[in-house]
Structure 1
Amino acid sequence: MTRSLHPFTLWLFALLTLPMAANAAGEAKTLNVLFIGNSFTARHNLSTVVKAMAEAGNPGLTFNRTDVIYGTLPLADANGEFDGALVIAIDASWLDNLLKRETPLSDGIAAVMDSSGRELVSNAPDVSRTLFHDRDMVRYLGGLGTTEDETGRAWSFAAASLDRHQLFVAFAKPSAQLFQWTTLHVVVSFVLPICMVIFTIVAIWLATDRMVLRWLLYLRRVTVVYAEGHYGFRPSRMNQAPSEFRVLGSAIEDMALAIRDRDGRLREALAEKTAMVREIHHRIKNSLQVVVSLMSLYGSGVPEGRDRRRFEQLRTRVNTLAVVNRILYEANDGSEVRSRELLRELGSLLEGAMDHNVLILVEADDVALPTDLAVPLALLLTEIVMHLGENRASLAPGPQALRLVIDCMQEADQVMLGIE
């Protein structure tokens, strides 16, 4: 009887019949080998199995002599004794058709070959025979080889061992396609790190600008506002800032409030001081005016002559002090006087005291004079003018009045007074 066997049913049949065959024939128990060929009956061990199967009364089989790949695995019982074998066989043509049907189209060529270089299976036999014909695949293990097909197209291939039975797998691909992305990969390998660095820098800059710089600029504007004296300003935008800047903004705001309170107290103290200084100058002026009045009243009884002239000079000196204190009283802060105003007031006073025998012209800069400098300067000017008035006859003979030009200017930290 002739039966056609499916490739994957053959191993089941062998699994059922092989233990009996092995026992009947008494063959060796180590059947762990792989056979590749085109005929079962051409193998000695298989013929022995078939013979044993016939002696055991198993039905005979007629084989169609197709190329197959089959293997056996010995099985042992609990005592380690041989208890049969597991056999598998695959139709090589069926496997080849399966690979062609299930494998997607590709320019890559894959082939399985034995140690002699004979091709067993390939996804493109016509091309693979040209590429791998009579090549020792051992030379290309771990390396890359080059070859050409019938059209002169360049191919690159590599080989790998299957570790058993001296079988090799070779894979080939057109060199142009294999290396067409090499330039792109090299460019990308250089450009990608640069792009990543640029992206990182931009990200850091944006994060720094949003999280740090914008709030530093805002705090700078806030401090400028506080520096201008606007202590009532409130940095409301700091509520949106990170916690560290919110704490810093709160500290700056508290500092501004403390400065505003201290500034208010200082202004109040300064106003009290100014009021007290003005009151002091006012009382000194009044006291000096009383003294001048008493001296005028007393001097009216002094006879004309040298004593009367000295008495008038004394009254002029006291009047000079009164003029200085009156100007200080009329000043806003009471701590300094303007040189131009002081010299004009003294000029009028001295012209009257000299009976208009002296004509005083003031050509002075408007220099701020503190109190401790204004009083000595006024007394010095009074003494000089009175001395010149006494010697008027030698300086300006005749009835013409003595003409004096008073100049005052400031150079660096010095005040210069000139009389011409």
Structure 2
Amino acid sequence: MPAETRTTGRSPARRFGWRPDRLQGIRFRLGLAMAAALLPIFILSLIQTQADFRQQAEARRVNLQLAAERSSASTKARLDSTQVLLRALSPAALGPYCTPRLSALVDDLEGYEGLYRVSPTGQAVCASGRDEGFRSGVAPAGQSGWFERLRAGEDMVVMRAPVDSDYPPALIVAIRAERPMGRFDGAMAAVIPLTTLQPDTRDPALPQGSETALTDGAGRLLTASDASAFQLSGGGDVAGWVERARNDGAAVFEARDSRGQRRDYAGAALAGGDLYVLISAPSPGLLSWARLNPIGALLLPLGAWLTAFAAVMLLSERLFIRWLDYLERVAAIYAKGRFSVRPIQAMNAPSEIRVMARTLDEMAEAITVRDRSLTDSLAEKDALMREIHHRVKNNLQIISSLLSMQQRAVADASAKAALGDTRQRISALALIYRTLYQSDDVRHADARVFLTELVGQLIASEAGRGPMVVSSVEADTLYVDPDKLAPLALWLVEAVSNAQKHAFAGRGGHLKVRFRVDGATSVLEVEDDGPGVPSDDDVGVGRTLMGAFAKQLRGEAQMLPAPGGGTIARMTFATPEAVHPEEAP
């Protein structure tokens, strides 16, 4: 009955569906193909998002510039109101109540440190503020830059007041005073603390992390919410932007601050070329576009791409890969020779897989039928070979029996001995065929078993004709084919016959047969305890045949004296190729 395949003992990697070779499999390639197909959409989404980011970045810079202009307008309005106040006070600033009036205005109006009336010579003729003196740079003002500019004809000057440890940083705002004929008549000046002019960073239109500052006409910081944001990397400053702001009314640029952070800067002029507003905000980073709209810009396209990729991997696993793994396991079982397993589960697979499973099933059935036919043919051939060997053995035994009858009928002793030797040789050949058809494999025989039986047969054939001969056999196991076994057997027949004729005749004795396999060389020895090595004059047909049989095995035969007396007939030859080499028990 066909059996359904079962898989056990799988490694954890295979059990959970992952193997290193999956990188070369259909599922991985389908996933890569789908990923490549969806990649342009993902890239297009990234490009569109990047374009949106650039638009947003540009809008951010525009907003930063607008915020600078708004701050500039707000601060400029404050300066304009100061100018209006100074012009309104200029005619009345020379009266007897000038000082109390200016002091009262400073107390009532927020954001003023002091108000001053300066004579054409630069002396303060009327002032609010402290009794102990005037702020440095206000009076005497004869050599001050702002006073000289007013004397030269400018209507209004705005500049930073000189640093004075007794006063906070401030601006001097001064207007030109003239007599009715246009003659220079001094100036009206107001001192405004810089903190009151600082642009507000709480403007909702400003990006997070924005900082504000006021600079003079040379680009030097007058006041800043965070001075490090306006100190550029490498020790530079932001003075270079003033020219653009002076020419265009506003300027936008990008630079790195002293902490290495990339920032956007936007500035605008406040009062002519004397005062400027500068706003700074961190520049968007490389991936800040993803933070602006993380779901729509990055997560949604990436999620769609990953979902499609995972769907392809899962569907390929369910539709193809698991069935291919199943067929692979079935094929592996077939490779081990178990063709009784049938891919029954594949009947629920897609049509292409069913076709492959049906093909495997038909292949297994064809191999099973072929194997059965080959097995039957081999069994029949084996039986025929055994029958042939049996018949050859029987025929040789018949020939041996005929020779035995002829031997008994011959009266000549030499002829009788020759017939006996021939009969022994034929019996040895018959023993080869008997060993073959009695062995498990009719094509090969174990030399150890064969030599043991042959020695016993040779000794038994002469047992009743004289004194007893005791034999012992020590042999290694070696499976060889009959072509190599025949010369080995015939050499042994000649060696044992020679010992029976010359060593044991009329006295009996002890016969030792040894067969050793030593790698590429084998040695077969026949030792007797007779009178010793025969002389060269006694060389007959047997010794000649022994040499000829040794040459057939690519070896040589020797007759040597035994250590304890007697003779050793030795044949050293190349070891025949072993079919099933194994150690002798």
**TM-score, normalization by structure 2:** 0.38
CA deviations over 1:281-311 (Å, ceiling 9, x no partner): 1111221222222222221233473332222
Q: Which amino acid letter does the alignment assign opposite residue 418 of structure 1?
A: L
Q: Which has the higher contact order (CA 8 A, sep 6+)?
A: 2
Of 518, 521, 524, the residue aligned with 1:418 is: 524
Of 320, 328, 332, the residue aligned with 2:428 is: 320
Structure 1 residues 221 and 360, CA, compared in 2 at 3 Å: closer, same or farther? farther
1:274 corresponds to 2:382: yes
1:284 corresponds to 2:392: yes
Q: Which amino acid letter does the alignment assign opposite residue 155 of structure 1?
A: P
| Runs ≥4 residues deviating over 3 A | 147-152, 185-205, 353-360, 387-391, 397-400, 408-411
Aligned with 2:339: secondary structure? coil
Task: Write out aligned runs for 1:224-373 (5 A).
Answer: 224-303=332-411, 305-353=413-461, 355=463, 359-373=470-484
Structure 1 residues 247 and 398, CA, compared in 2 at 3 Å: closer, same or farther? same
Percent of aligned pairs with the same amino acid: 31
Aligned match of 1:153: 202
CA deviations over 1:232-259 (Å, ceiling 9, x no partner): 3221111122333222222222111111
Q: Which amino acid letter does the alignment assign opposite residue 400 of structure 2?
A: V
1:215 corresponds to 2:300: no
Q: Which amino acid letter does the alignment assign opposite residue 292 of structure 2?
A: H
For the Cα contact (< 8 Å) 1:327–1:337, is it kept in 2?
yes
Structure 1 residues 155 and 273, CA, compared in 2 at 3 Å: closer, same or farther? same
> Over aligned residues, Cα RMSD in angstroms?
3.8
Partners of 2:521 and 2:371 in 1: CA distance: 33
Partners of 1:400 and 1:282 in 2: CA distance: 34
Aligned match of 2:170: none
For the Cα contact (< 8 Å) 1:409–1:417, is it kept in 2?
yes
**Alpha-carbon shift at residue 200 of structure 1 (Å):** 4.9
Structure 1 residues 383 and 194, CA, compared in 2 at 3 Å: closer, same or farther? farther
For the Cα contact (< 8 Å) 2:290–2:298, is it kept in 1?
no
Partners of 1:287 and 1:260 in 2: CA distance: 40
Of 367, 382, 392, the residue aligned with 2:493 is: 382
CA deviations over 1:175-216 (Å, ceiling 9, x no partner): x9xx9x966337665666665565455444333333333222
For the Cα contact (< 8 Å) 1:284–1:325, is it kept in 2?
yes
CA deviations over 1:107-152 (Å, ceiling 9, x no partner): xxxxxxxxxxxxxxxxxxxxxxxxxxxxxxxxx9x94322579985
**Alpha-carbon shift at residue 319 of structure 1 (Å):** 0.8
Aligned with 1:334: secondary structure? coil
Aligned with 1:156: secondary structure? coil
Partners of 1:247 and 1:194 in 2: CA distance: 38
Partners of 1:389 and 1:219 in 2: CA distance: 70
Q: Which amino acid letter does the alignment assign opposite residue 205 of structure 2?
A: S
Partners of 2:475 and 2:311 in 1: CA distance: 67
Which region of structure 1 is more displaced relative to structure 2, 357-366 or 234-243?
A: 357-366
Aligned match of 1:133: none
Partners of 1:257 and 1:376 in 2: CA distance: 47
For the Cα contact (< 8 Å) 1:354–1:386, is it kept in 2?
no
Partners of 1:363 and 1:200 in 2: CA distance: 77
Aligned match of 1:205: 313
Task: Write out aligned runs for 1:31-70 (5 A).
Answer: none
Structure 1, unpaired ranges of 5+: 1-139, 158-175
Partners of 2:363 and 2:428 in 1: CA distance: 48
Partners of 2:430 and 2:414 in 1: CA distance: 25
Aligned with 1:366: secondary structure? coil
**TM-score, normalization by structure 1:** 0.52
CA deviations over 1:54-102 (Å, ceiling 9, x no partner): xxxxxxxxxxxxxxxxxxxxxxxxxxxxxxxxxxxxxxxxxxxxxxxxx
**Alpha-carbon shift at residue 153 of structure 1 (Å):** 2.4
Number of residue pairs matched by the alignment:
257
Aligned with 2:390: secondary structure? helix
For the Cα contact (< 8 Å) 2:389–2:433, is it kept in 1?
yes
Structure 2, unpaired ranges of 5+: 1-58, 75-198, 207-280, 527-585
Partners of 1:383 and 1:276 in 2: CA distance: 32
Structure 1 residues 208 and 366, CA, compared in 2 at 3 Å: closer, same or farther? farther
Structure 1 residues 276 and 183, CA, compared in 2 at 3 Å: closer, same or farther? closer
**Alpha-carbon shift at residue 389 of structure 1 (Å):** 3.8
Structure 1 residues 211 and 390, CA, compared in 2 at 3 Å: closer, same or farther? farther
Aligned with 1:155: secondary structure? coil
For the Cα contact (< 8 Å) 2:390–2:434, is it kept in 1?
yes
Partners of 2:309 and 2:521 in 1: CA distance: 62
Structure 1 residues 239 and 364, CA, compared in 2 at 3 Å: closer, same or farther? same
Partners of 1:333 and 1:398 in 2: CA distance: 42
Structure 1 residues 409 and 224, CA, compared in 2 at 3 Å: closer, same or farther? farther
